[in-house]
Structure 1
């Protein structure tokens, strides 16, 4: 079949890329340009682009759902801790207040160090919870 001739002007950088690709694949530049035009003009091109976008959106949706789940776990864990702490911690007498305050400061420092170490290692509560099997004996 006889081919029609097209004369087109392209950016020199694009021409160099076409030339390099043709040399790498050991095919004529015409074949590269025909494939690019066929891909652009193909009716499937729009469907392929749409499918790719849908896949990306699905991935983003799953990622957001995981983030939402992790946020719920974090919020629930914090709420349970605060409830437990408030219901089990008795008020302190004045003579032990300063010692308790110093001990609390020391414990908080340890907490921050442990948190930094766990985050540095990539260890998180949500990962631990996802690995553990639920314990039916534990109730809130």
Structure 2
């Protein structure tokens, strides 16, 4: 096969990488450059890149779908709790309001502390629900 000579200027760092690869693999630099150009100019290269992008987009789509599902579960659980709490909790008499407010502040502090510990451990309600649902399905 007839060879044509080309002269090209590349960044010194890129040239050093090429040189190191040539020595490490014991392949002439020309052979590495030919392979790189062939790969770059190959029509399959674009198809391979597109396939890789499609795979990544599919993974991102699945991840977003899981996030959407988790958000829906969270919103529904919160809505059910608020509805239940509002329908079952009687209003406080005026003379006990200050004490209830102080107790509520104390309980909220405990809630935030517990939440912080659970998040630090990686324990989440979503994981518990997933595990409980999985266990319930396999026990049937």
Could you state the TM-score of these two structures normalised by the residue count of structure 1?
0.89
Structural RMSD (CA): 1.8
- 1:1-140 alignment runs, 5 A limit: 1-133=1-133
SS of structure 2 residue aligned to 1:132: helix
CA distance in structure 2 between the aligned counterparts of 1:127 and 1:27, rounded to whole angstroms: 52
Structure number with higher relative contact order (C-alpha < 8 Å, ≥ 6 residues apart) = 1
- The aligned length equals 136
- Any unmatched runs of 5+ in structure 1? none
- Any unmatched runs of 5+ in structure 2? none
Distance 1:134 1:11, change over 3 A: closer
Deviations 1:73-120 (A, max 9, x none): 110011011001101101112222222111111110101111111111
Could you state the TM-score of these two structures normalised by the residue count of structure 2?
0.89
Instruction: Give the helix-richer structure, 1 or 2.
Output: 2
